[in-house]
Amino acid sequence: MGHKPSVSETSHHLLLCPAMDYLWTPWRYAYVSTAQKTSDCIFCELPQLGDDVRARIVYRAKYCYIVLNTYPYTPGHVMVVPFAHLDELQRLPVEAAHEMIELSQRMERVLRQLYKPDGVNLGMNIGKAAGAGVAGHIHMHVLPRWLADSNFVSVVGETRILPETLDLTYERIKGGLQSAVSP
């Protein structure tokens, strides 16, 4: 009979593709292993933690708060989130909607001052079919963008490479919000 490959020889050929690079991100396991299992709303839980640094809440207003995106598209990616648990923008009271836009404008100003981006994305994904990661609680994404800020790793490898830690982003944005002057 012919040569029967060992488990290690077989595993090597089955698990790895020689033309592909691998980036190991074990810290994402906590997210991917619990993302669909959590029955409570993360946006309702965060303000209740009692520790804004741990929750990554950089600002609290009357109806909404601003929180760092834990899995940012770019450095400075924040979300403006109403305290009220609502799944549709049309259900948000006018006062809260006004505050959400005012905070989004303030964040645009802060991000432009801190990061000097070429542009800013501002938007909402309402409902799972629209791409919402947290479909039951509306929130506004505000994030700085640069020309050519996508590279082969993010396009082909579906992996983001971020040049600063979330802790540093938190400090920069919190400081920027504290020193920001309204127009």
8-34 pLDDT, tens per residue?
A: 454 444 455 455 554 556 655 565 555
Beta strands (DSSP E) in the chain are 57-60, 64-68, 78-82, 119-123, 140-145
Q: Residue 166: what pLDDT? A: 87
**pTM beyond 0.75, yes or no:** no
Supply the DSSP symbol for 143.
E
- Fold classification of 41-179 is HIT family, subunit A (3.30.428)
Token reading at 79 = 């979300």
| Least confident residue range of 58-62, 111-115, 129-133, 147-151 | 147-151
Write down the domain spans for the chain. 41-179
More confident call, 117 vs 182: 117
Beta carbons of 145 and 119 less than 8 angstroms apart: yes
Task: List, in sequence order, the alpha helices (H) in 79-131.
Answer: 94-115
From the number of C-beta atoms within 10 Å of its C-beta (0-12, 13-18, 19+), residue 81 rates as buried
Q: Measured between alpha carbons, how far is 180 from 174 in angstroms, rounded to an integer?
A: 10
Is 139 marked active-site?
A: yes
Tell me, what's the pLDDT at 12?
46
Residue 31 Cα distances to 5, 27, 78, 88, 133, angstroms? 36, 8, 18, 25, 12
Check 3, 13, 137, 139 and give the catalytic one.
139
Give the pLDDT score at 179. Answer: 83
Residue whose C-alpha is closest to residue 77's, from 56, 63, 96, 60: 56
The answer to whether the CB of 166 falls within 8 A of the CB of 30 is no
| Count of CB atoms situated within 10 Å of the CB of 148 | 6
Q: Is the dihedral of CA 13, 14, 18, 24 positive or negative?
A: negative
